[in-house]
Structure 1
């Protein structure tokens, strides 16, 4: 592909993607990709609806009113077309009153953690979005499914493989959808990385570099291993795992890892301060990844036979920037959480599977578990049972 062709592709990609319902940012080539590819679920064109789409937006209950709900999800729900903020669950009466006034939430749609299960009697609530510390994801996802609600759970899905499996089983038993809050699957810059990598726009990708880190403030729940399940690897490092998988379109076959030194033994008493790991893929591609709670990093880069392409920053809520060996590429900045939630509502309305299902969350938790094992043992961990890492064919 010549530089001119690539530039035309990028320009066309940005224009056409915005006209597609659900803004999944795919091109004609992505639409014809075989669903057998491990990454095909990322860019697959929406299938025709199997039943008429409901006219009324679906009601969403946010469970946990921390920073992410306050600064990202609630504002995003003011932009959604197919779902609407209808209820909240919080243990803080002060937060409950503030949100009631700000978002005009009826008193009967305000719940706490003691009466949470009574949401089953509320027809206003169709979707429950779990935005709690990681250790609580499984419990409240399962209880929401048992209450007859569809569930979105924030990443990481849960601290253990067993909890992830229990969440999937509970939603299946209730015949409800379970999705993970992987917002970047609906964001144009990251979807361009998947498009370039999987369609070999710059030839075969040989190496991926993924880094995500931040200088975390002290005394937050993410530094408590019981609540978080781990440190930066499970919190922001999971974006590196995801980025490598959807850029390559492959699933890793082996991992090696090494935990970094701790410069603050008080702050990082319970969780790792940093982690470096390598993922090996069937094609021979290598992904070199790094995450930290003491250093700002935000990069997703692919080095290919005929050039390179990268995002820096790659995983932030806004301000993402894309560059390639033949020049920059630009897309509109979007509220990806709004696109994510509208897509899930559309799946419910049209009897479709989520593009980011619980099975994908389980797959990633298995990879994170292998990375921790590799760091602990100093050995290469082979992901021999690769079928366990494949997302459902969607």
Structure 2
């Protein structure tokens, strides 16, 4: 943490009795924007996160980590990234000495999240990790422990929880303005276009249940405000020549306390983008519920939930940056991400055995 001490010394900050509990946390007055390094320069980083970073108030793209040499000059020219802020997967540990980088954002295939999130934590920088958090709940726990050991903040990239209409649904789970929740339908999937090859590999965390399923699982949890107690599930494919290792479609039924039933579905072969909540005195829905823009909804008494006009990823990253700058709780913790992966494992077991599995 010598780089951190050097920064404090140069900035003239005096640390007395009120020492920050996270050494990597920066007092709000010391930095206006946090330097972000993206690990992995695939589609999501290239087309969504990097452009969104240009729209943030509290972040700036400062570094990249890539194994593709040909991408480096393209990114440097577009975003003005210094040679000293370019890393590969073998030397990314050297980010520990770079004062310009405050956060390392893991944007890799799911099967690599644990390995590189732990590497990131060991640099002493804060860690943002894309969803799904990891392949197993055990890997999730390892990430959490690495961040706790290094006393850095960990946030999981659940952009939907930063979206205003989704936050309304989360609030209604607690206030129940339409009466007790009775049933939920939660569906997320897509059809058409090419599927990234790694998403077809089991060891890389591929399959619909990981890639799109966590949207429907997380929505089931935040729309009820509860945790499931049991699940049954069925996985299938209409393209067995392509989906040889992972699921193309997973349908599941989750049981929640108070008799609430959630019918969930996720797929790489169907366009699914729907969250419906039936209550004692009415209903409400978000449709689409997990698109990059245009999330909208309606209620049984005619209330319209209009789309948020801000960029979702920009809002997510600004929220997470403010949690670091102000040393407050992150909106989506590692524990939250781990809960979904624990459920994914139970869904896979339920499908494999054909049995009702307790959670």
TM value normalised by structure 1: 0.82
Aligned equivalents of 1:232, 1:380: Cα separation in 2: 21
- State the partner residue of 1:275: 250
Cα distance 1:303–1:77, how it changes in 2: closer, same or farther (>3 A)?
Answer: same
- State the partner residue of 2:268: 293
Cα distance 1:317–1:219, how it changes in 2: closer, same or farther (>3 A)?
Answer: closer
- State the partner residue of 2:50: 74
Question: Contact conserved, 2:163 with 2:308, CA < 8 A, in 1?
Answer: no
Match of 1:221 among 198, 201, 204: 198
Aligned equivalents of 1:155, 1:170: Cα separation in 2: 18
Cα distance 1:218–1:348, how it changes in 2: closer, same or farther (>3 A)?
Answer: closer
- State the partner residue of 1:307: 282
Alpha-carbon deviations, 1:125-146, whole Å to 9, x = none?
1100000011110011001111
Is 1:124 matched with 2:100? yes
1:47-58 equivalences under 5 Å are 52-58=28-34
1:244-255 equivalences under 5 Å are 244-255=220-231
Is 1:346 matched with 2:322? yes
Question: Contact conserved, 2:183 with 2:261, CA < 8 A, in 1?
Answer: yes
Question: Contact conserved, 2:293 with 2:312, CA < 8 A, in 1?
Answer: no
1:40-119 equivalences under 5 Å are 52-119=28-95
Question: Contact conserved, 1:80 with 1:339, CA < 8 A, in 2?
Answer: yes
Over the residues paired in the alignment, what is the CA RMSD in angstroms?
1.6
Question: Contact conserved, 2:253 with 2:264, CA < 8 A, in 1?
Answer: yes
Deviation, 1:367, is 0.8
Aligned equivalents of 1:219, 1:209: Cα separation in 2: 27
- State the partner residue of 1:133: 109
Aligned equivalents of 1:68, 1:219: Cα separation in 2: 12
Aligned equivalents of 1:250, 1:196: Cα separation in 2: 12
> More deviation in 193-202 or 167-176?
193-202
> More deviation in 110-119 or 296-305?
110-119
Alpha-carbon deviations, 1:56-115, whole Å to 9, x = none?
311000000111111111111001111111001111122111110001111111111122
Aligned equivalents of 1:87, 1:286: Cα separation in 2: 45
TM value normalised by structure 2: 0.89
1:1-394 equivalences under 5 Å are 52-215=28-191, 217-218=194-195, 220-228=197-205, 230-260=206-236, 262-327=237-302, 328-383=304-359
Aligned equivalents of 1:183, 1:371: Cα separation in 2: 23
Cα distance 1:113–1:55, how it changes in 2: closer, same or farther (>3 A)?
Answer: closer
> More deviation in 271-280 or 350-359?
350-359
Question: Contact conserved, 1:273 with 1:293, CA < 8 A, in 2?
Answer: yes
Aligned equivalents of 1:326, 1:198: Cα separation in 2: 19
Where structure 1 has 5 or more consecutive residues not aligned to the other structure, the ranges are 1-48, 384-394
Alpha-carbon deviations, 1:190-227, whole Å to 9, x = none?
11221233211111110000111112524621111121
> More deviation in 123-132 or 155-164?
155-164
Aligned equivalents of 2:111, 2:59: Cα separation in 1: 27
Aligned equivalents of 1:60, 1:50: Cα separation in 2: 14
Question: Contact conserved, 2:228 with 2:255, CA < 8 A, in 1?
Answer: yes
- State the partner residue of 1:11: none
Question: Contact conserved, 1:218 with 1:267, CA < 8 A, in 2?
Answer: no
Question: Contact conserved, 2:183 with 2:277, CA < 8 A, in 1?
Answer: yes
Aligned equivalents of 1:338, 1:219: Cα separation in 2: 24
- State the partner residue of 2:11: none
Question: Contact conserved, 2:26 with 2:325, CA < 8 A, in 1?
Answer: no
